[in-house]
Homo-oligomer: A and B are copies of this chain.
Amino acid sequence: MTSGMSAGAVEIREATRADWPAIWAFFAPIVAAGETYAYPEDLTSAQAEDLWFKEPPGRTVVAVDAATGAVLGSAGMGPNRPGRGDHVGTASFMVSPNARGRGVGRLLGEHVVAWHRAQGYAGIQFNAVVETNTAAVALWRSLGFEIVGTVPGAYRSRAHGLVGLHVMHLDLR
């Protein structure tokens, strides 16, 4: 299975509910690892699915292996706030551990930035990037995001204890 995911083009398409089992296969262990996301404890698959699939004007996409169709990662995106804050977007990302090294996170990140730009958003805000998730921080920086500030000790990392949560922002104006 790893070999089947080790090469080949990666494509991004709209996610459908039929993709959920494949997303949940990496969503669940990523959340359980306790290093990147603050989701509720003991989230059921159905609850996670409802959180992950964004209502319009938001949307959720998957990154798939163009040859096999295997789901390698997913991103949800849309307004960060309602009302007078809905001109700034946000997004969440999950990449299958089996797909590491294939640039799936970067591809999803570039897609998310391009989508927000095309939709006319004024910027993108990430509300809670775990500071010890250095790969993610470096990726977002490389896409132009800046660390607006860091809330000290706001995340209980399984490995590192209390660590900060970065608020990151990309200005699209």
Contacts and interface: CB of A to CB of B under 8 A. Distances in A.
Interface in A74-132: 80-88, 122-123, 125, 127-128
Interface in A25-60: 31, 34, 37-41
A108 to B, nearest CB: 22
Interface stretch (A3-11, A12-20, A162-170): A162-170
Most central of A84, A127, A152, A156 by chain B CB within 10 Å: A84
Interface in A129-173: 147-157, 162, 165, 167, 169, 171, 173
A82 B38 contact: yes
Interface residues of A, number: 38
Contacts of A148: 148-151, 167
Integer count of this chain's copies in the complex: 2
Contacts of A127: 127
B37 A154 contact: no
A171 B154 CA distance: 10
A141 to B, nearest CB: 15
Contacts of A169: 151-152
A127 to B, nearest CB: 7
Contact of A34 (B84, B150, B153, B171): B84
- Scoring A38, A82, A127 by chain B CB atoms within 10 A of each residue's CB, the highest score goes to A38
